Amino acid sequence: MAVKLTIGGEKIALGERKKVFLRVAALYDYTDINIPIEVIRGKADGPTLFISAAIHGDEINGVEIAKRVLKRVKADKLKGTLIIIPIVNVFGFNNLSRYLPDRRDLNRSFPGSKNGSLAARLASIFMKEIVVRCTHGIDLHTGAVHRANLPQIRACLDDPETKILAKSFGVPVLINSSLRDGSLREAARRKGIPMLLFEGGEALRFEEDVIKSGVKGCMSVIRSLGMLPKLKAQSDKPAKKVFIANDSSWVRAPHSGAFVATKKLGAHVTKGDVLAKISDPFGSEEYDVLAETSGIIIGLTRIPLVNCGDAMFHIATFSNVKHVKSAIELYDEGMLL
Ligand SMILES: [Zn+2]
């Protein structure tokens, strides 16, 4: 491990814990825009892990997850360095928006450039100051606005190291997700840094079950990387069962109207099951929304109004869906403790 670590011009010594405000831009009135960062450095050697949230500014479950992870980690016990960035897209966060003021999506703007758009400049600073200093990363997301996701990990599972990291997070559902052009995950991969993307809940909400799931997952990764000692209970228990989805697809509305869902997030559905009923304003005409495959509902829309063709239910398929269902139930019980 490099003895010297400098972020945003601030030196962070071994064994030190420090808040850094990384200046990335200014508002029209010259008010500085800073990304808040907390760095915890252990005295002993170890990996450097970053945990980032709110790259999409309205996806705020991760902001709370990051805050709670910060509370749990003490520098005197840590091996290596933890860099936590609770809010990356500070513009979007302050405006309750996914985007930057120019309507660009920061997670399509990596690795960015020094002389590019506002999004490209912010991405470039983030890469230079944070990502390239790290050996591993976790990026925390939620569904888009009015869409909810079952807690899940998306990662490039063809890479063995990333796969181990993904399993150690401990959520039952893993999605082997291809890299999106311009995403932080793609940029990190190009630098050879294994990275996980956690998805859970919906935008603009604090959802306690999702937050607990994210905190447990991050802590579990930190322990699995050897940055903190394993919990005694953790080493005694058999490893949590995790399942990799074979595929996933959206069920779209077969008709416009208002709908009542008959299946919930995390439900096990069989091909042909009724997922929702769409009706006209009088309730005299009804259209069934049917599952086109058997699987688990990993995402859904929260607005009960649809146009014909709107995405309604995201269903992931698995080789043994019944096992996945029981793992999800067990996992949910664990979150209630
Ligand atoms: Zn997102």
Instruction: Please tell me the distance between residue 140's alpha carbon and the centre of ligand 1 in angstroms.
Output: 8
Which CATH number is associated with domain 247-317?
2.40.50.100
How many CB atoms are located within 10 Å of the residue 282 CB?
6
Task: Please give the pLDDT value at position 2.
Answer: 62
DSSP string, 68-112: HHHHH--GGG-EEEEEEES-S-HHHHHTT-SS-TTS--GGGS-S-
> What backbone phi and psi angles, to 5 degrees, belong to 278?
-100, 135
Place of tokens 């559902």: 173
Task: Please give the pLDDT value at position 68.
Answer: 98
Instruction: Please tell me the distance between residue 236's alpha carbon and the centre of ligand 1 in angstroms.
Output: 35
Q: Please, where in the chain does CATH 3.40.630.10 lie?
A: 6-243
Instruction: Please tell me the distance between residue 230's alpha carbon and the centre of ligand 1 in angstroms.
Output: 30
Task: Please give the pLDDT value at position 161.
Answer: 96
Joined tokens for residue 236: 């005694």
Instruction: Please tell me the distance between residue 175's alpha carbon and the centre of ligand 1 in angstroms.
Output: 15
Task: Please give the pLDDT value at position 337.
Answer: 63
Joined tokens for residue 224: 């699995």
Instruction: Please tell me the distance between residue 198's alpha carbon and the centre of ligand 1 in angstroms.
Output: 9
> What backbone phi and psi angles, to 5 degrees, belong to 204?
60, 25
**Residuewise pLDDT in 10s, the chain (337 residues):** 567 899 999 999 999 999 999 999 999 999 999 999 999 999 999 999 999 999 999 999 999 999 999 999 999 999 999 999 999 999 999 999 999 998 999 999 999 999 999 999 999 999 999 999 999 999 999 999 999 999 999 999 999 999 999 999 999 999 998 878 899 999 999 999 999 999 999 999 999 999 999 999 999 999 999 999 988 766 666 567 899 999 999 999 999 999 999 999 999 999 999 999 999 999 999 999 999 999 999 999 999 999 999 999 999 999 988 899 889 988 888 876 6
Task: Please give the pLDDT value at position 25.
Answer: 94
Instruction: Please tell me the distance between residue 200's alpha carbon and the centre of ligand 1 in angstroms.
Output: 10
In sequence order, which ranges of the chain are alpha helices (DSSP H)?
A: 61-72, 90-94, 118-129, 160-169, 184-190, 208-224, 232-236, 321-336
Q: Do 157 and 174 touch, CB atoms closer than 8 A?
A: yes
Q: Which CATH superfamily is domain 6-243 in?
A: Zn peptidases (3.40.630.10)
Task: Please give the pLDDT value at position 158.
Answer: 93
List CB contacts of 271: < 8 A, sequence separation 6 or more.
291, 292, 293, 294
Instruction: Please tell me the distance between residue 143's alpha carbon and the centre of ligand 1 in angstroms.
Output: 6
Considering only CA atoms, which of 214, 235, 49 is closest in space to residue 141?
Answer: 214
Task: Please give the pLDDT value at position 228.
Answer: 97
Place of tokens 């929702």: 276
Instruction: Please tell me the distance between residue 77's alpha carbon and the centre of ligand 1 in angstroms.
Output: 32
Taken as a whole, the chain contains a residue count of: 337
Instruction: Please tell me the distance between residue 142's alpha carbon and the centre of ligand 1 in angstroms.
Output: 6
Task: Please give the pLDDT value at position 1.
Answer: 53
Q: Do 296 and 273 touch, CB atoms closer than 8 A?
A: no
Q: Please, where in the chain does CATH 2.40.50.100 lie?
A: 247-317
Q: Do 152 and 175 touch, CB atoms closer than 8 A?
A: yes
Task: Please give the pLDDT value at position 232.
Answer: 75
Task: Please give the pLDDT value at position 140.
Answer: 98
Instruction: Please tell me the distance between residue 56's alpha carbon and the centre of ligand 1 in angstroms.
Output: 5
Instruction: Please tell me the distance between residue 199's alpha carbon and the centre of ligand 1 in angstroms.
Output: 8
Amino acid at 199: E
- What is residue 207's DSSP assignment? -
Instruction: Please tell me the distance between residue 59's alpha carbon and the centre of ligand 1 in angstroms.
Output: 6
Instruction: Please tell me the distance between residue 196's alpha carbon and the centre of ligand 1 in angstroms.
Output: 13
